[in-house]
Structure 1
């Protein structure tokens, strides 16, 4: 057999093997992968802000151009006695052009103002990206918790079902009580209702996650272990990071734009020059030309320029006060999330090192006592359900701590 024939046979064999093998199940979705998918997907909100920033940049470049000249066409010195343009030698057809020349400084100030506004919009784009990352983390962690809650609830329901069989058998043999069977049926029904609520919560969390990663990725199972988030900065470093928060950077850009507004208002005190040129056509006499310079005189400055400057300064003061209020709010959020993060981790440590182990020992002891007819059936069921609640509380506490961690990262940024 020739080499091309061998290669073709091998390719056909690989293809038939691939067809024969069933499609592999999608791998579980990790939190890091979900954040990566969301970061690589162009979100419409971010795209909108980028377009607005580009529009402001172009408007700034357009401000550097001179205003369009004004063309004037008219008939001068027309006699009113007969309205005959040929009866008077002074009658002429005029064509004129007027060009306003704003100061070079004012045009540069307008461009700088537009650029500052564009930087503020770009900072809002960075804020939107952080919001997306935080939302993905919170939704993934929420879906993780409810999936774990569902698995634990189903496992505990299976154990309760087995206890129900034991209670039914004992009752049938005359050694048990009917209320044991009824109690197990009640607890089973309550677990079924709890499972329905868990499924609803899973659907809600996945819907929130699908907003940023797509339905296909959100439909995958969550990776069955808690993620490791980026490290948190230290106390002073976290406070310094607040000053670099995108919302603060956007406010800084707005303050810079308001400062350019003050400069523009002050520039309005300077006169604005314009150049006029005209040409007159007279039928019986020589054509005439004219040229002149006009200047706008800021005589009524008290009612116009003074008020404009005062208003621009008040706007800058308002923006600076808004930045101070924003920093105070960010500091409050950081303090709240930091305390919550620390206390939740302390609570989880207590559950892991003491509460959970004692709950398991209690369940095992009650089971042994029940087998030796030293404990009743209701106490056995209560111990199983108490163990379930403790396990769920531990997972909820760990997830809540990681969600607080995610909120701190939103405020301080991921430490590289």
Structure 2
């Protein structure tokens, strides 16, 4: 019996997988940002950093990826373990005439231990495949966090755009009111016709329409931002005055392409390829025979007069080794290996497509950023100063009676449009830069 217990202990001990020592290291997850304390929003309103933190904390999709990551780690540990052993207990060679356990020499109480061993390196390959899937979930969680940051930045910038648009339009409304006062004064003195007064009133009404459209767009932008940060965190509004709309600099295209290789989408595809390679190795393991061993102890009680020593009967010990022979492989192992090879190639094709798609997005974003930067420079150097000067000259000319009210109105509207266009360019640049950060990372 001692020998049997030693064999059982050895079987259970060897079932502990060596390969999972590495898996235990893989299970150390990165700090969950969702556990960080919620930011304190001041009376100035929600700034960009607070919006980013709230959005990441509230996102449930990235949390689901992290749960899947831990699930695959647990599954990898379970996979890289021997099958449960079997214990058999029973009686053998019992005489059915008397059922006397001591009547016959061969009557035995048997206790057996059976253990099947893994087929080839199947346990290791299956566990490594699960760990690759776990790392895939880690990469998908990182991709989701980048997506959340990009989306909340763009949503926050949309709110800033509409708030600053309102400020610009309201400031220009004051100028149009001044134009109305001047036109009424000139009409009262007989210097201008009533049409100028009507035109000025119409322009103010059109400005009011712009204000309403901007307010409507602001409501939509706030609703989109609230989706990420929560309605309760929008009560104090958005700190638009703290918005830094300066144009961030960019690195060279070669450097950006190098950083693109660390994009979580590519990493996820790389891990999927690794996982599929392990599945192919697992299919190859099916060609290996599966070994097993069986140890049985037979206890015999009583004695027998035919025994010269007239003592107790000797117990029996039986040890056997079993194995299966994968001979008929054409419609089983061969087909499984072929299927896994095709799945591996399909995964590589998807990896290539993801790489091309990310590169296309990088080139498109770089092109947009460069053109927006050129337009920003054009507005700063020429368009804005020219529009401002045109409005001032037209206003002076109208007061002097050498410029028509229509020309003055057109100059004021043009100045308003150029200021709004300049704001839109700056916001569009920062939104495109947020997409660039998604592609290449925060610190790239």
Tell me how far 1:336 sits from its aligned partner: 0.9
Contact 1:46 1:125 in 2 (8 A): yes
The question of 1:140 aligning with 2:140 is answered no
Match of 1:270 in 2: 288
Residues 277-309 of structure 1: CA distance to partner in whole angstroms, max 9, x if unpaired?
679999xx9999976443222122111111111
Contact 2:120 2:290 in 1 (8 A): no
- Find the residue that maps to 2:323 and give its secondary structure: strand
Tell me how far 1:347 sits from its aligned partner: 1.0
Query: How many residues are aligned here?
Result: 389
The question of 1:332 aligning with 2:348 is answered no
Tell me how far 1:216 sits from its aligned partner: 4.9
The question of 1:342 aligning with 2:358 is answered no
Aligned-partner Cα distance in 1 for 2:406–2:248 = 46
Residues 243-296 of structure 1: CA distance to partner in whole angstroms, max 9, x if unpaired?
1111000011001101101111111101112345679999xx999997644322
Aligned-partner Cα distance in 1 for 2:299–2:213 = 90
TM-score of the superposition, structure 2-length normalised?
Answer: 0.77
Match of 1:372 in 2: 400
Listed as ranges, the gaps of 5+ residues in structure 1 are 1-23
- Find the residue that maps to 2:216 and give its secondary structure: helix
- Find the residue that maps to 1:375 and give its secondary structure: coil
The question of 1:35 aligning with 2:63 is answered no
Aligned-partner Cα distance in 2 for 1:42–1:68 = 42
**Cα gap change, 1:137 to 1:356, in 2 (>3 Å):** same
Tell me how far 1:167 sits from its aligned partner: 3.0
Within a 5 Å distance, the mapping from 1:162-311 to structure 2 comes to 162-172=178-188, 174-218=190-234, 219-227=237-245, 231-276=249-294, 292-311=320-339
Contact 1:144 1:224 in 2 (8 A): no
**Cα gap change, 1:231 to 1:30, in 2 (>3 Å):** farther
**Cα gap change, 1:94 to 1:168, in 2 (>3 Å):** farther
Aligned-partner Cα distance in 2 for 1:160–1:343 = 33
Which moves more between the two structures, 387-396 or 228-237? 228-237
Contact 1:31 1:227 in 2 (8 A): no
Tell me how far 1:70 sits from its aligned partner: 5.1
Contact 1:232 1:409 in 2 (8 A): no
Residues 68-88 of structure 1: CA distance to partner in whole angstroms, max 9, x if unpaired?
34577999999xxxx9997xx
Match of 1:15 in 2: none
Which moves more between the two structures, 30-39 or 273-282? 273-282
Which moves more between the two structures, 182-191 or 128-137? 182-191
Match of 2:390 in 1: 362
Which moves more between the two structures, 224-233 or 245-254? 224-233
Residues 295-350 of structure 1: CA distance to partner in whole angstroms, max 9, x if unpaired?
22212211111111111111111112211111111111111111111111111111
Aligned-partner Cα distance in 2 for 1:402–1:294 = 68
- Find the residue that maps to 1:274 and give its secondary structure: strand
Residues 173-231 of structure 1: CA distance to partner in whole angstroms, max 9, x if unpaired?
55543332332232222222221221222222223333333435542331355345765
Instruction: State which of 370, 375, 380 in structure 2 corresponds to 1:352.
Output: 380
Aligned-partner Cα distance in 1 for 2:329–2:66 = 39
Aligned-partner Cα distance in 2 for 1:163–1:58 = 74
Tell me how far 1:392 sits from its aligned partner: 0.5
- Find the residue that maps to 1:223 and give its secondary structure: helix
Which moves more between the two structures, 244-253 or 296-305? 296-305
**Cα gap change, 1:84 to 1:55, in 2 (>3 Å):** farther
**Cα gap change, 1:227 to 1:397, in 2 (>3 Å):** closer
- Find the residue that maps to 2:292 and give its secondary structure: strand
Listed as ranges, the gaps of 5+ residues in structure 2 are 1-40, 305-312
Aligned-partner Cα distance in 2 for 1:74–1:164 = 109
Aligned-partner Cα distance in 2 for 1:274–1:374 = 107
The question of 1:26 aligning with 2:43 is answered yes
Match of 1:156 in 2: 172
